[in-house]
Amino acid sequence: MGRPIILPRTKRGRGNPNWCNPHPPLPAVLTEFERQVERLGLTKAQYVASSELRYWCERNRNRCYVPEWLLQEWGLKVEAIFSSVA
């Protein structure tokens, strides 16, 4: 019987070789509210006066993010049953 074949030992790569390298920043993601504002071409000063934005906020206030100051300005309330807080 011949000699057993012994394979050369290879160095095991352990751990993350990039642990000290910084990660690139993640891209900013627009909220649905910001997309709607961009679509309407509004500035922050025009939010309160926009009837289209108010209509969109009334329909989507329980589903999408709408700034609290804008909800207070229009007297809209978020229903707690739809909120993740309740």
- 8 A C-beta contact, residue 57 and residue 37: no
What 3-state class would DSSP assign to 17? coil
7: in domain: no
Q: What angle do CA 57, 63, 65 make, to 5 degrees?
A: 65
Q: Does residue 74 contact residue 57 with C-beta atoms inside 8 Å?
A: yes
- Give the global pTM: 0.65
Q: Considering only CA atoms, which of 69, 51, 58, 61 is closest in space to residue 31?
A: 61
Residue 16 has pLDDT above 90, yes or no: no
| Residue 83: inside a domain | no
Whether 8 is in a domain gets the answer no
Residue 9 identity (one-letter amino acid): R
Residue 25 belongs to some domain of the structure: no
54 and 66 Cβ atoms separated by less than 8 Å: no
Number of domains in the chain: 1
- Convert the pLDDT of each residue in 42-81 to its tens digit: 999 999 999 999 999 999 999 999 999 999 999 999 887 7
